[in-house]
């Protein structure tokens, strides 16, 4: 898997955290860069950590599934992508506050990085350079979240759903690409 695919995966995975960061920014009466950086760090670290856990699980079961690994990668990315698109159309009545309390942030970071765990499983089957992948995922998620906090503070919830839809489409596209490559169609 090349750097471009890893960057696209990182963007796709980071969209949930980006959307939550927009919500965090909305709840700030005045932009707080320190809080934006803390938000970015929580999400970036968890988005980078979860693929390591998934990769470890994937490697443990690699011998059992190598003949169907491309189908597993396709299925996981397709399901995550569709879920993100569906979630973008759901009405959320969640009250958001600008607290960056570690209890609040860990729960949000875990909730938005579960899909990264699943992607980590696919990394094990695709022989991805894990250090490069998690570095790209962590850095891009951090940047997206800091930007998302600023956007949320300036523009409200106008972009939240669009970000989740875009992230879902990107993950589906990458899943299809992986499947077509392994089937020697492209």
Predicted confidence (pLDDT) per residue in 24-46, tens digit: 887 777 888 999 999 999 999 99
Res 19 pLDDT > 70: yes
In this prediction, residues 143-151 reach a mean pLDDT of 94
- SS3 call for 92: coil
pLDDT at residue 23, rounded to an integer:
79
In this prediction, residues 116-120 reach a mean pLDDT of 90
Q: Return phi, psi of residue 10, to 5°.
A: -60, -40
Res 93 pLDDT > 60: no
Res 49 pLDDT > 70: yes
Residues 6+ apart with CB under 8 A from 184: none
In this prediction, residues 119-126 reach a mean pLDDT of 89
Q: pLDDT tens digit string along 157-169?
A: 566 677 778 777 8
DSSP state of 158: G
Say which residue, 68 or 129, is predicted with more confidence.
129
Compute the distance between CA of residue 16 and CA of residue 24 in angstroms, rounded to an integer: 12
Distances (CA, A) of 114 to 53, 150, 157, 183: 10, 24, 23, 28
DSSP state of 61: T
Of 47-51, 64-68, 69-73, the poorest mean pLDDT is in 64-68
pLDDT at residue 92, rounded to an integer:
60
- Three-state DSSP string of 104-117: HHHHHHHHHHHHHH
How large a percentage of the chain has pLDDT more than 90?
34
pLDDT at residue 94, rounded to an integer:
47
- SS3 call for 86: helix
Rg (CA), the chain: 16
- The answer to whether 21 touches 160, Cβ cutoff 8 Å, is no
Of 92-96, 103-107, 124-128, the poorest mean pLDDT is in 92-96
């Amino acid at each position: 898997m090349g750097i471009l695919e890893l960057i696209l995966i990182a963007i796709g995975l980071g969209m949930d955290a980006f959307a939550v960061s927009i919500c965090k920014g909305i709840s700030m009466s005045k932009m707080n860069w320190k809080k934006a950086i803390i938000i970015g760090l929580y999400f970036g670290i968890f988005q980078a950590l979860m693929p390591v856990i998934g990769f470890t699980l994937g490697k443990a079961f690699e011998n059992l599934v190598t003949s169907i690994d491309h189908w597993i990668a396709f299925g996981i990315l397709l399901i995550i992508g569709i879920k993100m698109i569906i979630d973008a159309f759901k009405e959320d009545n969640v009250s958001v506050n600008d607290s960056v309390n570690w209890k609040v942030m860990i729960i949000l970071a875990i909730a938005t990085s579960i899909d990264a765990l699943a992607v980590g499983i696919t990394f094990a089957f695709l022989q991805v350079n894990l250090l490069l992948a998690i570095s790209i995922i962590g850095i891009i998620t951090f940047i997206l979240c800091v930007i998302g906090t600023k956007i949320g503070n300036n523009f409200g919830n106008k972009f939240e759903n669009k970000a989740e839809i875009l992230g879902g489409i990107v993950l589906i596209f990458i899943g299809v690409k992986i499947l077509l490559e392994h089937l020697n169609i492209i």
